[in-house]
A and B are shown apart, each in its own frame.
Chain A
Amino acid sequence: MIDKKIQKVLLLGSGALKIGEAGEFDYSGSQALKALKEEGIETVLINPNIATVQTSEGVADHIYFLPVTPDFVERVIEKERPQGILLAFGGQTALNCGVALYQSGVLEKYGVEVLGTPVQAIIDTEDREKFVEKLDEIEVKTIKSQACETIEEARKAASELGYPVILRAAYALGGLGSGFCDNEQELNKLAEKAFSFSPQVLVEKSLKGWKEIEYEVVRDRYDNCITVCNMENFDPLGIHTGESIVIAPSQTLTNSEYHKLRALSIKIIRHIGIVGECNVQYAFDPDSEDYRVIEVNARLSRSSALASKATGYPLAFVAAKLGLGYGLFDLKNSVTKTTTAFFEPALDYVVCKIPRWDLGKFRGVDRELGSSMKSVGEVMAIGRTFEESIQKGLRMIGQGMHGFVENKELEIADIDAALKEPTDKRIFIISKAMKQGYTIDQIHQLTKIDKWFLQKLQNIRNIDLQLHKSKGLDNIDADLLRQAKIYGFSDFQIARAVGMEAKMDIEDAVNIVRQKRKQLGILPVVKQIDTLAAEYPAQTNYLYLTYSGVGHDIQYENDHRSIVVLGSGAYRIGSSVEFDWCGVQALNTIRKEGLRSVMINYNPETVSTDYDMCDRLYFDELTYERVMDIIDLETPKGVIVSTGGQIPNNLALKLDGQQVPILGTQAKYIDNAEDREKFSAMLNRIGVDQPEWSALTTMKDVNAFINRVGFPVLVRPSYVLSGAAMNVCSNQEELERFLNLAANVSKKHPVVISKFMQNTKEVEMDAVAKNGEIIAYAISEHIEFAGVHSGDATIQFPAQKLYVETVRRIKKISAQIARELNISGPFNIQYLARDNEIKVIECNLRASRSFPFVSKVLKVNLIELATRVMLGLPVEKLHKSFFDFDYVGIKASQFSFNRLQKADPVLGVDMSSTGEVGCLGDDSNCALMKAMLSVGYRIPKKGILLSTGGAKEKAAMIDAARTLREHGYDIYATGGTSKYLSEYGIENTLVHWPSEQDAQPQALDLLHERKIDLVVNIPKDLTAGELTNGYKIRRAAVDLNVPLLTNSRLAAAFIQAFCTIKPEDLAIKSWEEYK
């Protein structure tokens, strides 16, 4: 049945999380590895993303933290000699790499068989022209596009098709470099960008306003096919599916339409010859049954991960098995465990996926949604009414929204325009429009969203109006209250709608609503996701809560064996796969101890929401209300709030207020660390230094404080993760402008201003303590100076360039803080260090972003240790000094500026990276090279453009510039930099800023002429004026796909590394080989 000669298989991962390629591939890859392991196959994984679950011990047999590029993969193949390779589980990165290895003959040379879908089939789907031809053969309609190799050809094609047209770059990740053009001017601009990503650009007629429908299709080598799920986009065609709210199953298709598209999907997958899983996207006419196939993804995708979570059907797991040669009929339905995997899930609930954007974090970014993806994460909400599902989802995205209604009023100047041009706020603009009396027809005209969705939203609005009319909780009858809950209203929305906020604190009001509901017996029920709509009994632990029901699907034991782990919610900038890893490690530890592991999370891209990972999974909200609902049912032994990042951390106090047993560090201590006043007072008490700061409420106090400490200052509100709404202000004007913006960030907590330390090292302490005593720790060091957010910084562990004295002091201070806060569990402290002067920046009594990185470099699972502490189990103190390491780990950040049109790709105190990698090397240079190559940097061949900022940065770069010259690189430099380099006798060519219009040569021209392979562009400071100066060059570098560095310390380190060693000299060593 399966091919016995396949005994070792290589799986390619997707690398760092980036927009368009995120956590879903950790899930896919983990599932595939599990499927292989089950067969006794030895597995090799290449993935530099050290924070993933798939790169954890025991998931794959050999793990390589190396770039997923043809060169490195070939060297791993040469070393490991696998018989098979899986290309479909690591997104476009793995697929492109695999196709390149196939085309260059590497796979043939080493006798490596591609398992699953043959490479030719992949090529047939990736190359637009071949794809259209292929579907023409079976008379399936596609969007006809004209492949163009020059801008002139593109212009000609567009005028023939007639505007609007859509432009796509071939072989691009999730719509990279693509977009709509309404006229030739727009086309010129976009085409240039698209050509920088791909030699081929496609011009097609736009079908804006058509429905967008997707099918997930599976085929085995016996030609048996199933469609696991179909999905319908809330937004019509024109908005990338990654940017759209997506509903599963489709809601507005008739039987005839559904099955017409389903049958087409099967016809297509058979003709192309997929073995495994693929996704077919359609444009569907809202006024007939006409359709066009948009694309076929011959691999696991974001949609397939979503479909797996939406249905309970483990697509990646099944696809891996099919790749080994199994038939669908050989496999079991992993939910029921008795029925076959050859079936199509029947849902008895409705699922909404909602994207999470973080556009507010990017200076200058274009907020309009289009055919290219910008969202950084997503949530999935499950309900038994559409209204319930979407309101849950809108709360889950975690941007302060309470649902479709009862949110803070949006200020929209022109609602018509806002409806017409969708942004990340689209659905809330619909809410506002409804409030202002827009009819469904009007909104439909402007948005082209199917009226059915709008009618459902209107229903939410109508219930809200009824609640308002009641003017008080006491006047509401049970029927209306129940109806509100069935249609997804939270207690908060109800409290606000009936006007309780005016009379009391909203938190008290919410508890009163909760009490009233309980008295009336209006309680949610727990339902299973069982793939068969209850037709067969299923022992599944995959659960959600709903008010649309009368009975629970499971029975509670009330045995106090449950340990509830709160997950991390939507991936967003500042909180991503690393917390998923932490959650999964906590679950594993709980299971190992024979306790019942319970996860609450709602992110479909994660491994923690794989129902195999725990004993009970609640795919539901992490709001206070919902967590309490679950705790009421589970009556757990304890709740873990410290492995899911800031969302659970913020719930700690409230849960504690309801006597929920929180494991580990107690809530009041968490608050003592989170609350700046309390934390600062504590530091003063124990004599630990901190940057001078003050919490201020008036401008007068602000000025008085700054007069004392001087500019620059760091301005931020309390309770933040990833430095949201945090900024450095260098002068009075900036300060006033920013304070105006920040004023409405948080009413409860005052604005905090602190002295901003320049030219100072930043050091991280990740540790685990038990009853106030540190039992394990890891000290790591940022390569950049303070000022770059720790989530964006390049971090080395163990620290390589700290004074022993500094390390000793940090250990001592950390021990003091741990004792003072009586820490039991994971924590992280950030320090500033200049000479041997140490200051504490902040302290989080939870796992930090760097826990997986340091755990894997240290080869000690800090979360396992922390979980054991929290469970009250015996632990041994770790004695491992950083002198024991014969290797270095470097964590580098992945940026997605290429997706974020117009955003300034400069780093600051606010985090902007979307992912990270961690690579190991025998020394810093080796580790840094691997890490930088993993996040997309390339070794420059010839030209390098330098603009090295202020005096200190210029000085910091001088050695690096000299090294470049010694290695034969051509240096181009802008005015000040050129002069400075010349003074030091470093040969360079003067180029001009875009503002120096008439002077030649222009830096931008050189970029466009592809004479530059690396841009180092360092702003003098972060003032608006200075930023504007370099913006055009930085943005051009990003748009033209030229590597860009904006920090002098990192630039110098990278230049030093690539001038010292060649990539081919880097050792190919697996994780276990670093001892």
Chain B
Amino acid sequence: MRKVTLLLDDGTKFHGTSFGYETPVAGEVVFNTAMMGYPESLTDPSYAGQLMALTYPLVGNYGVPEFSIEENGLSTFMESDRIHARAIIVSDYSTEYSHWNAKESLADWLKREKVPGITGIDTRELTKVLREHGVMMGKILFDDEPDNIPTADYEGVNFVAQVSCKKVKVYKANQSNAKKVLLVDCGVKENIIRCLLRRGVEVIRVPWDYDFNDMEFDGLFLANGPGDPDTCEVTVGNIRKFLANPQVRPCMGICMGNQLLSKAAGATIYKLKYGHRSHNQPVRKVGTNQCFITSQNHGYAVDTTTLGKDWEPLFVNMNDGSNEGVRHKTNPWFSAQFHPEACSGPIDTEFMFDEFVKLL
């Protein structure tokens, strides 16, 4: 296996070996503390532009399932049609795998999709560096090649435009007279669509910058997506129009959707020092004793003090007090910073989809 170096912006180096596609790559280095779910994470569009380091050391154990597509056009096991992370960084890649559901090894998949994977990295030490310094740009370089790739950019880059669908797509419901949900695709994870379809609604998926306000639908869904929400002013403008419409219709947002809804409600967004990427984020529903373990993947957060007067925080992170969701005080508009659709992660908050569909 070829030797590689992970070079961080502050000059810190980690040495390891390559097990994926062999090409140097640059991106924002982030860590994820989830202990499983690498196929889901890699295909999560929110990881666009990022080098994903996993703190759980053993990766690849159960291989990768077949990339099959269901009748409705959604993949069976993945969260999008391809790997979005720019690379995966692990401590101990398992060259062999064992699972009834596996079609190939993680290494083979990475090679097919031309994504680098490196192993032998002390990802705990890396996490400590990122925790102290904040997320950093980094490069994966092959030791037998000169460093001839440019440093990547992350902030200010519109990754949403890169991963969003390019044209409107309709997912029919199984039943007739189904309610219609308009879903703004900022980089949607397919399980959000699955969660909606399972509840008997029709999903109309539109590109991130599509003005949907003239379309016919019963509820608006703001999906997750990668990068800086401030690059999505177009979407925020469209949401504002929706909120101003005298015909009040339900709206739910997830992750980037929470940030865009909050922006539309007047709030500002800030970048977290190192983001929340894990399956064990505790959130509390504001004003109640109800707490939930959530799956998260975000680097930006809503500053709740800047929310409009008609809005209030819905959930709060129990570890660092950051915002985990907002809601309108009177209208059926709410959102979560975490991922109720999970995939990967705990499914304890999937009830939010029930609440949304009930409101339609």
Q: Is the interface of A mostly helix, strand, loop or mixed?
A: loop
From known contacts A329-B291, A536-B319, infer whether A252 and B99 are also in contact, taking CB-CB under 8 Å: yes
Contacts of B348 in A (CB 8 A): 225, 263, 266
Contacts of A535 in B (CB 8 A): 31, 33, 55, 127, 131, 278
From known contacts A253-B36, A532-B33, infer whether A329 and B55 are also in contact, taking CB-CB under 8 Å: no
A348→B124 contact, CB < 8 A: yes
Contacts of B290 in A (CB 8 A): 222-224
Instruction: Please report the C-alpha to C-alpha distance between residue A548 and residue B59 in the assembled complex, in whole angstroms.
Output: 14
Chain B interface size, as a band, is 35 or more
Kindly identify which residue among B57, B282, B284, B345 contacts A348, using a CB–CB cutoff of 8 Å. B57
A534→B124 contact, CB < 8 A: yes
A452→B128 contact, CB < 8 A: no
Does A90 lie at the interface of the complex (its beta carbon under 8 Å from any beta carbon of B)?
A: no
Kindly identify which residue among A222, A250, A266, A348 contacts B123, using a CB–CB cutoff of 8 Å. A348
From known contacts A537-B131, A551-B122, infer whether A343 and B40 are also in contact, taking CB-CB under 8 Å: no
Does A571 lie at the interface of the complex (its beta carbon under 8 Å from any beta carbon of B)?
A: no
From known contacts A345-B280, A346-B55, A348-B55, infer whether A255 and B343 are also in contact, taking CB-CB under 8 Å: yes
B36→A255 contact, CB < 8 A: yes
Contacts of A551 in B (CB 8 A): 122, 125, 128
Contacts of B87 in A (CB 8 A): none
Which has the most chain A C-beta neighbours within 10 Å: B57, B125, B280? B57
Contact string against A for B residues 70-111, beta-carbon threshold 8 Å, 1 for contact and 0 otherwise: 000000010000000000000110101111110000000000
Contacts of B37 in A (CB 8 A): 254-255
From known contacts A226-B293, A346-B34, A385-B57, infer whether A533 and B96 are also in contact, taking CB-CB under 8 Å: no
A450→B98 contact, CB < 8 A: yes
The B-contacting residues of A in range 324-380, CB under 8 angstroms, are: 327-329, 339-340, 342-350
Does B238 lie at the interface of the complex (its beta carbon under 8 Å from any beta carbon of A)?
A: no
A251→B122 contact, CB < 8 A: no
The smallest C-beta distance from B64 to any residue of chain A, in angstroms, reads 10
A329→B318 contact, CB < 8 A: yes
Does B269 lie at the interface of the complex (its beta carbon under 8 Å from any beta carbon of A)?
A: no
Instruction: Please report the C-alpha to C-alpha distance between residue A871 and residue B155 in the assembled complex, in whole angstroms.
Output: 59
Does B332 lie at the interface of the complex (its beta carbon under 8 Å from any beta carbon of A)?
A: no
A533→B289 contact, CB < 8 A: no
A455→B33 contact, CB < 8 A: no
Q: Taking CB as reference atom, which chain B residue is nearest A287?
A: B100
Contacts of B344 in A (CB 8 A): 255, 259
Contacts of B154 in A (CB 8 A): none
A549→B125 contact, CB < 8 A: yes
The smallest C-beta distance from B41 to any residue of chain A, in angstroms, reads 9
B101→A254 contact, CB < 8 A: yes
Q: Taking CB as reference atom, which chain B residue is nearest A348?
A: B55
Does B347 lie at the interface of the complex (its beta carbon under 8 Å from any beta carbon of A)?
A: yes
A343→B282 contact, CB < 8 A: yes
The A-contacting residues of B in range 1-51, CB under 8 angstroms, are: 14, 31, 33-37, 39-40
Does B58 lie at the interface of the complex (its beta carbon under 8 Å from any beta carbon of A)?
A: yes
Count A interface residues, CB 8 Å. 57
From known contacts A340-B319, A342-B291, infer whether A548 and B278 are also in contact, taking CB-CB under 8 Å: no
Contacts of A553 in B (CB 8 A): 124, 128
Does A314 lie at the interface of the complex (its beta carbon under 8 Å from any beta carbon of B)?
A: no
Instruction: Please report the C-alpha to C-alpha distance between residue A250 and residue B91 in the assembled complex, in whole angstroms.
Output: 17
Q: Taking CB as reference atom, which chain B residue is nearest A452?
A: B98
Which has the most chain A C-beta neighbours within 10 Å: B36, B100, B278? B36
Does B346 lie at the interface of the complex (its beta carbon under 8 Å from any beta carbon of A)?
A: yes
Does B62 lie at the interface of the complex (its beta carbon under 8 Å from any beta carbon of A)?
A: yes
From known contacts A348-B123, A452-B61, A533-B33, infer whether A329 and B284 are also in contact, taking CB-CB under 8 Å: yes
Kindly identify which residue among A252, A253, A259, A537 contacts B346, using a CB–CB cutoff of 8 Å. A259
Does A550 lie at the interface of the complex (its beta carbon under 8 Å from any beta carbon of B)?
A: yes
Contacts of B14 in A (CB 8 A): 550
Does B56 lie at the interface of the complex (its beta carbon under 8 Å from any beta carbon of A)?
A: yes
Contact string against A for B residues 279-305, beta-carbon threshold 8 Å, 1 for contact and 0 otherwise: 111101000011101000000000000
The smallest C-beta distance from B190 to any residue of chain A, in angstroms, reads 14
A384→B91 contact, CB < 8 A: yes
Does A712 lie at the interface of the complex (its beta carbon under 8 Å from any beta carbon of B)?
A: no
The smallest C-beta distance from B20 to any residue of chain A, in angstroms, reads 19
A249→B319 contact, CB < 8 A: no
From known contacts A259-B347, A384-B92, A550-B125, infer whether A339 and B98 are also in contact, taking CB-CB under 8 Å: no
A251→B58 contact, CB < 8 A: yes
Kindly identify which residue among B55, B92, B99, B278 contacts A254, using a CB–CB cutoff of 8 Å. B99
Instruction: Please report the C-alpha to C-alpha distance between residue A570 and residue B182 in the assembled complex, in whole angstroms.
Output: 60
Instruction: Please report the C-alpha to C-alpha distance between residue A237 and residue B139 in the assembled complex, in whole angstroms.
Output: 45
Q: Taking CB as reference atom, which chain B residue is nearest A525?
A: B122
Kindly identify which residue among A342, A451, A459, A549 contacts B282, using a CB–CB cutoff of 8 Å. A342
Instruction: Please report the C-alpha to C-alpha distance between residue A537 and residue B125 in the assembled complex, in whole angstroms.
Output: 12
B127→A533 contact, CB < 8 A: yes
Does B342 lie at the interface of the complex (its beta carbon under 8 Å from any beta carbon of A)?
A: yes
Contacts of B33 in A (CB 8 A): 346, 348, 532-535
Kindly identify which residue among B97, B127, B343, B347 contacts A534, using a CB–CB cutoff of 8 Å. B127
Which has the most chain A C-beta neighbours within 10 Å: B35, B100, B293, B319? B35
From known contacts A224-B289, A263-B347, A343-B319, infer whether A252 and B61 are also in contact, taking CB-CB under 8 Å: yes
Does A398 lie at the interface of the complex (its beta carbon under 8 Å from any beta carbon of B)?
A: no
Contact string against B for A residues 276-310, beta-carbon threshold 8 Å, 1 for contact and 0 otherwise: 00000000001110000000000000000000000
Instruction: Please report the C-alpha to C-alpha distance between residue A385 and residue B122 in the assembled complex, in whole angstroms.
Output: 12
Contact string against B for A residues 517-534, beta-carbon threshold 8 Å, 1 for contact and 0 otherwise: 000000001010000111
B57→A452 contact, CB < 8 A: no
Contact string against A for B residues 326-351, beta-carbon threshold 8 Å, 1 for contact and 0 otherwise: 00000000000000001111111000
The smallest C-beta distance from A1066 to any residue of chain B, in angstroms, reads 47
The smallest C-beta distance from B154 to any residue of chain A, in angstroms, reads 20
Can you list 20 A-B pairs, Cβ within 8 angstroms, ordered by A? A222-B289, A251-B58, A255-B39, A259-B345, A262-B346, A286-B100, A327-B289, A328-B291, A340-B319, A344-B280, A346-B279, A451-B96, A456-B94, A533-B33, A533-B55, A534-B33, A535-B55, A535-B278, A550-B125, A553-B124
- 6 closest A-B pairs by beta carbon, nearest first, are A255-B37, A455-B96, A452-B98, A533-B55, A451-B98, A255-B344
Known: A251-B58, A263-B346, A343-B280. 20 other contacts (CB 8 A): A224-B289, A252-B99, A253-B62, A254-B62, A256-B77, A258-B35, A266-B348, A328-B291, A340-B319, A343-B293, A343-B319, A346-B279, A455-B94, A525-B122, A533-B55, A534-B124, A534-B131, A535-B55, A548-B91, A549-B122
